[in-house]
Structure 1
């Protein structure tokens, strides 16, 4: 029995209108999930989201075109499409996480397959629903209703994903939850339009089977997520949390007991050699003569830089600014991190602020004698601003006349252009800069840059206990071999964010 043999009731029209809204909401969330997973795993968020959006829109066009070859059983066609979207979209993030460790070509094949299939199915729904609604209204009114609700649903989905779904459910369970919404809409339509469906029982059984599967996925989502993370990180995952800002994962090797912290899939430190990085970050800038009563740490929510700063008894105040309150919390409470940072975040001399560093430093406040920038590499456009001349100028205003700044500056070997661009940008703001590097087994050669208005000494005396750095090793750290030597790099700014693009280009080689 086709839809032409029945006139749609007001109740059925209402169900279709709600379906349009929910379909659009689910479609945009699937798109955001795929883009976010790919950004976490492959980096370069602008590139990943641009490709995801582009191919998704292209697939929607193909789906819309393909729908004209369907028969006139619009209700059946819509329900079948909805079932397929729920099935594919509901497991999209899990599939991506599970395929990533094997080979990039496999991951990208799955990724583009998901984008194209989900996009095509979403594209099919719009003309099908428009045709259904046109039985009770003019075609222009049907198109207006469908498109307006489609855009409203997309808005709701795009807002709810970063504000509600991602922080509360994470990526894997978010896709399960949206799949559930999809299949509920399919079930409602099967029931409401049962008189139009020759395959009523078959479709209803299919819906309930997928519903049961997705409900099991949601129920055991924590186990599934942990399994996917173990599959992804190989080491035992001892802590995992999707915060408002990032994905935090702490792992521990079963054989070596090595602990690692990952943020958005990028390793931040290894317990095996983190002391080398943090000693070279902190002690050169702290060992220079002059007042060091007030110290500012930007980033460093793991408490490891603060651990080194606290070795200086004349440091009276430490302000630590990390955008993620959860990062500060787990570093204060998680035993594995407390052992590493020696409970530095519990020190009475330290005050932590859960703020964006850019916002914090642009406010009036005390002047700092030493500033330590322990931010992640500029691997996305949001971090680019924290390595800009505007940001360094704001920091300069919050420093004493004799104040000194040090910044981790990525690798002068793997990201050579990035490293020297950071130095050039600091040199644009400050009168004097000094560059140095060290070797980290987990990361390779790693670089740092100091800056201040007055002269920076070339020799250093380290008087506090250390495991790696010495005054003599700092002399060698200032020597750059030919393949690390200074390049003519650009100044990075908010208006011309060149550093992020340099980072992408450097990692291609």
Structure 2
């Protein structure tokens, strides 16, 4: 059935029968609307997790407010006039603009107006969610002109769910690794404006102001295309203000955001993962000497060493100072982290090419999965993981994880874990110690001063025999000595042990403690 064009002077006031072509375009629009909506939701949740931490909290709030906003938008849509095509196109234009710039807005709000970040975040969620919610009733009503309302609702909801599935899969597998957060939002905005343009062309006879709407869509198309094209420059601009120092390396991998910076004045270089500092070239040796040398100085076999994390190769550099270490297995989930640890010139100089050592074998694998497999027994296990700022990392400080490590330790084996700060995150530090004590017979806690981090803590654990009261270091060091090691086991009153829970996968306490401790 052919459509009946309205008068050229006014928009169509009465619903018109749809052609098969128009119906197909509307159905395709539903798919794209759902795809774009879920990706915006994921982008906002990811950016907020990246900047604020606690991904469960951020994604829960993002999803909850987004769903609420969609319901609000659906309610508001009942007050629109019956110019369904025009209304749908204008809503798509608005989503393209607001959604397209959501990522860069959040990244710029954080350094320049930190107190307003949450307001900006929730405002974006509310606007995008409401706009997406407005579209579903409009499209359902339009389709009901061709098919029954029952069939229209079934088609709209089924395509909405399929589009959400496509978007939720495409974001982590395609968009985030290839485009990053800022360019992804621009690219999804382009999809919205393409949908608007497609409907402008197909329903042009329904629009009295067709040329003006077309010009508006084309203008926004050019703007978003330019943003995608210059996205890398925009990203560098945002990162410059986020990190303050010069960004010398930046990439978004499948697992995390890796950024290396260099101070213009001091030439100090830093590595950040998801916005959290991992080391500074000014004092990284202090951290890695305290992580590695105490555990390797304890008498007993140390031929087989396992490093969990540490893809930068700096812990491995310290381990390689011991000639009797025959084998080092290093496990890092991110192959890009392993690659730059081996190939990036700055890291190669810093880790003294440890990642290319014949004694070291690197595995790009999740540490939890790796340690849960049968394999050789290790004499020493060094856990060099990021702080437990989300639930994914929380499992790497759990009772279950330590139990798996215990099964992969030799009879005289020892494990050490970086354990965050006993000053800034006091309950976190002692929670890690308490969790280790649930699995192992003996634990030893100590701390060191790392200027970039503050007071930093470590926990060792073993089964056979108590820890010695003295340590001897027979390799060259820049910071740690026998005397400083003995002093490091004495905790000041404000860092002494406090009651803390045992962390487990079934009852993940640690990452919430981490967030709470940082708020104190």
Extract unaligned runs of 5+ from structure 1. Answer: none
Q: Distance in 1 between the 2:98 and 2:504 partners?
A: 42
Please say if residues 249 and 260 of structure 2, whose CA atoms lie closer than 8 Å, have aligned partners that are also in contact: yes
3-state SS, counterpart of residue 36 of structure 1: helix
Give the aligned partner of residue 128 of structure 2: 118
How much has 1:424 moved relative to structure 2?
A: 0.7
Match status 1:324 vs 2:321: no
Aligned pairs (5 A) from 1:287-436:
287-436=297-446
Q: Distance in 1 between the 2:258 and 2:469 partners?
A: 38
Q: Once structures 1 and 2 are overlaid, which stretch shifts more, 349-358 or 59-68? A: 59-68
Give the aligned partner of residue 279 of structure 1: 289
How much has 1:219 moved relative to structure 2?
A: 1.1
* Alignment partner of 1:164 out of 149, 163, 174: 174
Give the aligned partner of residue 484 of structure 1: 495
Please say if residues 3 and 74 of structure 1, whose CA atoms lie closer than 8 Å, have aligned partners that are also in contact: no
Please say if residues 371 and 406 of structure 1, whose CA atoms lie closer than 8 Å, have aligned partners that are also in contact: yes
* Alignment partner of 1:100 out of 99, 106, 110: 110
Q: Distance in 1 between the 2:71 and 2:13 partners?
A: 25
3-state SS, counterpart of residue 4 of structure 1: coil
Match status 1:252 vs 2:252: no
Please say if residues 432 and 456 of structure 1, whose CA atoms lie closer than 8 Å, have aligned partners that are also in contact: yes
Give the aligned partner of residue 134 of structure 1: 144
Q: Once structures 1 and 2 are overlaid, which stretch shifts more, 5-14 or 384-393? A: 5-14
3-state SS, counterpart of residue 495 of structure 1: coil
Aligned pairs (5 A) from 1:147-162:
147-162=157-172
Q: Distance in 1 between the 2:292 and 2:471 partners?
A: 12
Q: Distance in 1 between the 2:422 and 2:54 partners?
A: 20
Which digits, 9 at most, give the CA deviation of each residue in 1:205-244, with x for residues without a partner? 1111111011111111111111111121111111001001
How much has 1:113 moved relative to structure 2?
A: 1.2
Give the aligned partner of residue 97 of structure 2: 87
Q: Once structures 1 and 2 are overlaid, which stretch shifts more, 365-374 or 97-106? A: 97-106
Please say if residues 423 and 455 of structure 2, whose CA atoms lie closer than 8 Å, have aligned partners that are also in contact: yes
Q: Distance in 2 between the 1:317 and 1:416 partners?
A: 35
Q: Distance in 2 between the 1:493 and 1:223 partners?
A: 43
Match status 1:506 vs 2:494: no
3-state SS, counterpart of residue 328 of structure 2: strand
How much has 1:103 moved relative to structure 2?
A: 2.9
Q: Distance in 1 between the 2:245 and 2:142 partners?
A: 52
Please say if residues 100 and 185 of structure 2, whose CA atoms lie closer than 8 Å, have aligned partners that are also in contact: yes
Give the aligned partner of residue 496 of structure 1: 507
Give the aligned partner of residue 67 of structure 1: 77
Aligned pairs (5 A) from 1:117-266:
117-266=127-276
Q: Distance in 1 between the 2:86 and 2:56 partners?
A: 38
Q: Distance in 2 between the 1:3 and 1:304 partners?
A: 70
How much has 1:432 moved relative to structure 2?
A: 0.5
Which digits, 9 at most, give the CA deviation of each residue in 1:82-116, with x for residues without a partner? 00100111111011111110232222221111111
Please say if residues 179 and 214 of structure 1, whose CA atoms lie closer than 8 Å, have aligned partners that are also in contact: yes
Structure 1 stretches of 4+ moved >4 Å = none
* Alignment partner of 1:473 out of 456, 460, 484: 484
Q: Distance in 1 between the 2:37 and 2:13 partners?
A: 26
Q: Distance in 2 between the 1:207 and 1:330 partners?
A: 42
Q: Distance in 1 between the 2:505 and 2:59 partners?
A: 21
How much has 1:458 moved relative to structure 2?
A: 2.2
Give the aligned partner of residue 35 of structure 2: 25
**Cα RMSD for the two superposed structures:** 0.9
Please say if residues 3 and 75 of structure 1, whose CA atoms lie closer than 8 Å, have aligned partners that are also in contact: no
Q: Distance in 1 between the 2:44 and 2:191 partners?
A: 18
3-state SS, counterpart of residue 433 of structure 2: helix
Q: Distance in 2 between the 1:203 and 1:342 partners?
A: 61
Extract unaligned runs of 5+ from structure 2. Answer: 1-10
Q: Distance in 2 between the 1:182 and 1:437 partners?
A: 53
Give the aligned partner of residue 5 of structure 2: none
Q: Distance in 2 between the 1:110 and 1:319 partners?
A: 45
Residues paired across the two proteins, number: 509
How much has 1:446 moved relative to structure 2?
A: 0.5
Q: Cα–Cα, structure 1 residues 173 and 126, in superposed 2: closer, same or farther, change >3 Å?
A: same
Q: Distance in 2 between the 1:344 and 1:250 partners?
A: 19
How much has 1:147 moved relative to structure 2?
A: 1.1
How much has 1:6 moved relative to structure 2?
A: 2.8
How much has 1:9 moved relative to structure 2?
A: 0.4
Give the aligned partner of residue 16 of structure 1: 26
Please say if residues 16 and 145 of structure 2, whose CA atoms lie closer than 8 Å, have aligned partners that are also in contact: no
Normalised by the length of structure 2, the TM-score is 0.97
3-state SS, counterpart of residue 31 of structure 1: helix
Match status 1:462 vs 2:473: yes
How much has 1:335 moved relative to structure 2?
A: 1.1
How much has 1:299 moved relative to structure 2?
A: 0.3
Normalised by the length of structure 1, the TM-score is 0.99
Q: Distance in 1 between the 2:376 and 2:133 partners?
A: 56
3-state SS, counterpart of residue 507 of structure 1: helix
Q: Distance in 2 between the 1:93 and 1:315 partners?
A: 47
How much has 1:3 moved relative to structure 2?
A: 6.1
How much has 1:5 moved relative to structure 2?
A: 5.6
